[in-house]
Structure 1
């Protein structure tokens, strides 16, 4: 076999006019995916659960194979799409009649912030770091956790945020990037400080050097009391 053989790399053993068939196969699979999404009523990936993403990945594999492999027939792929569409409808019907099955397939929403602090025990069960949460919260216009009364991680990965009114905002952990807030092991002055790991807020005296009573971490930042800018 010749290395860097442009004929082999570009077309291998198929004739040049097979490219027209590839274009037709691609249109065919595009229409099948479009119809599947219309049948299932999905509008975007951000609305999809893990179960739905799994089905889309399976469809993508079938669509990709039939689009450019000349030895993959088109009718069986159509059967794959129709079978998965029926499976999806059946799964949705079963989940609507069984809360246990729905929780198994879709998962449950998880509270990640309560009353301005991380719901620490609940958050540890999620497959996201606090930095990912911080990014999502910043996209909601949150500067520190004391502005947030309740935040819920939904089953589709989005975060629902409910805020304190400005007059009830409490001292909280800043979620701005690290360079925006200095960290301390020994606090320099009296004031409210937040644990950088679990967001516990304590009033500390100047010179205090303690471990967080909640998570045993040793670094603190000044708690922010800024109100939201809307």
Structure 2
């Protein structure tokens, strides 16, 4: 082989893109809801894909090459998505509107598995009691719910971090 670590580079690139696609499929809301089981899952995934990246090379240099490849890919993806908006639209999640001018978007809430109770909790954290007082509520790309109220004086700089995966939203 021309370059002894070429195999590690190819394997690391494949694992990076697999994990990116998997996170895209499972959605941004999962990232903001990490509990003990999720952390264990992340640790187990990292352990399982480590062997897929380095193969039989378990040396320090092999591990460092795999880590370097992941950092380089991540850096390159960030630069490319900021430069080419079309690529960014394909690879990156977008914020989702949950409430607009007091009207709930039931389709988006259902698709994102955001419950009535969870949305009300986010509103309370922003000091808002009724849906009609919400000018705009968004599920941001990091999984937080940001809310802008009708009354600009009530606008708070807080973010509601999703903690639970409620599935009891009623239309």
How far the C-alpha of 1:75 sits from its partner, in A, is: 2.0
Contact 2:115 2:170 in 1 (8 A): no
TM superposition score normalised by structure 1: 0.40
Match of 1:86 among 41, 51, 72: 72
Q: How many residues were matched structurally?
A: 111
Task: State the partner residue of 1:61.
Answer: 46
Match of 1:122 among 82, 91, 108: 108
Alignment partner, residue 127 of structure 2:
141
Equivalence map 1:78-227=2 (5 Å):
78-165=64-151, 197-198=170-171
Instruction: Give the structure-2-normalised TM-score.
Output: 0.52
More helix by share: 2
State the distance in 2 between where 1:80 and 1:115 align. Answer: 48
Write the deviation string for residues 124-151 of structure 1: whole angstroms up to 9, x where unpaired. Answer: 3324333332332222222221221111
Matches within 5 A, 1:22-33: none
Secondary structure of the residue aligned to 1:88 is helix
Q: Secondary structure at the match of 1:113?
A: strand
What is the RMSD of the two structures over their aligned residues, measured on CA atoms? 3.4
In the superposition, relative to structure 1, how do residues 79 and 98 fare at CA in structure 2: closer, same or farther (>3 Å)? same
Gaps spanning 5+ residues in structure 1: where?
1-48, 167-195, 199-230
Q: Which deviations, in whole Å up to 9, do the C-alpha atoms of 1:176-228 show, x marking residues without a partner? A: xxxxxxxxxxxxxxxxxxxx834xxxxxxxxxxxxxxxxxxxxxxxxxxxxxx
1:75: which partner in 2?
61
Query: After superposition, what is the alpha-carbon deviation per residue over 1:97-118, rounded to whole angstroms, capped at 9, x for unaligned?
Result: 3323222322111110111121
In the aligned structure 2, how far is the partner of 1:127 from the partner of 1:138? 19
| Structure of greater Rg | 1
Distance 2:66 2:133 in 1: 49
